[in-house]
């Protein structure tokens, strides 16, 4: 997660001066955090041959994807969406995707925590992707566009899967990377349909917006659906 996470400030109720259920580490996560979280999920899938088990330890309030308020409501933080998408669509056999994409130069902080400056990372790909083949013949794609300014045209070859139909396509993004969901604005950051998607003759084409998390689920085509579609149905 990003180092700039905010925290809620609430006064805990007390009984005889002892705090009752005090707010602890109630981090507020932004759109930027959702992108970082999604990228971490992709890394876990892409290394599933070595990472056998991974979990989200905290679920409510404490550094968590779901927030509640005493006597009030509950709302989803930005990071809940990549987690929910992975849980729903990331089930099956992980494929090794051969990716050709432009790269950028970045630097990262010293991983051991000492103030020794930063280290260069000269060839970081703008596109990060994980592909999961379902047992029933479907294909799920998780795509992260790390370019902060430019849209990305993506082409995926999936001819070995037979006839497929775009079943769902979702996009998570916001113009403000610091945008966060709150009790008063619980849907400020939420998934929307990924508009520019087409599948024909075994090839998927999609346009990913800058700084966006994207999910495309291709399902086996059924005869009762008529000809395999090249444009998906709207999904909310």
- In whole angstroms, give the CA distance from residue 158 to residue 162: 8
- In whole angstroms, give the CA distance from residue 96 to residue 39: 16
In a domain, 18, yes or no: yes
Query: What integer pLDDT is reported at residue 236 of this predicted model?
Result: 37
Q: How confident is the model at residue 232 (pLDDT cuts 50, 70, 90)?
A: very low
**Average pLDDT rounded to a whole number, residues 139-152:** 95
User: Is pLDDT above 90 for 101?
Assistant: no
Query: What integer pLDDT is reported at residue 114 of this predicted model?
Result: 65
Which residue spans within 55-186 are E strands per DSSP?
Answer: 66-68, 74-76, 93-95, 103-109, 118-125, 127-133, 139-145, 152-157, 164-172
Domain CATH for 206: 2.60.40.1180
Give the model confidence (pLDDT) of 43-56 as tens digits: 999 998 888 888 88
Tokens matching residue 158: 């999936």
What is the span of the domain harbouring residue 49? 6-225
- In whole angstroms, give the CA distance from residue 113 to residue 110: 6
Average pLDDT of the chain, as a whole number: 85
In a domain, 183, yes or no: yes
Q: Which of 228, 82, 77, 236 is nearest to 169 (CA)?
A: 236
What does DSSP assign to residue 52? -
**Average pLDDT rounded to a whole number, residues 139-145:** 96
Query: What integer pLDDT is reported at residue 3 of this predicted model?
Result: 43
In a domain, 230, yes or no: no
Give the model confidence (pLDDT) of 201-215 as tens digits: 888 999 999 999 999
In a domain, 235, yes or no: no
């Amino acid at each position: 997660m990003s180092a700039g996470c905010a925290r809620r400030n609430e006064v805990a109720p007390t009984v005889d001066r002892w705090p009752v259920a005090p707010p602890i580490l109630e981090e507020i996560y932004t759109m930027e955090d959702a992108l970082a979280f999604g990228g971490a999920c992709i890394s876990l899938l892409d290394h599933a041959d070595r990472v056998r088990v991974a979990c989200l330890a905290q679920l409510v309030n404490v550094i968590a994807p779901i927030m509640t308020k005493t006597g009030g409501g509950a709302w989803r933080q930005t990071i809940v969406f990549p987690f929910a998408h992975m849980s729903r669509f990331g089930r099956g056999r992980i494929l090794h995707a051969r990716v050709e994409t432009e790269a950028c130069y970045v630097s990262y902080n010293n991983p051991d925590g000492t103030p020794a400056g930063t280290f260069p990372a000269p060839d970081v790909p703008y596109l990060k992707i994980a592909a999961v083949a379902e047992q029933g013949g479907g294909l799920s794609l998780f795509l992260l566009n790390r370019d902060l300014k430019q849209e990305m045209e993506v082409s995926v070859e999936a001819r070995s899967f037979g006839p497929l139909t775009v079943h769902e396509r979702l996009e998570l993004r916001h113009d403000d990377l610091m945008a966060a969901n709150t009790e008063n604005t619980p849907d400020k950051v939420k998934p929307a349909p990924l508009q520019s998607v087409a599948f024909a003759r075994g090839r998927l084409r999609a346009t990913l917006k800058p700084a966006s998390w994207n999910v495309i689920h291709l399902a086996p085509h059924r005869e009762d659906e008529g000809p395999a579609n090249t444009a998906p149905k709207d999904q909310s």
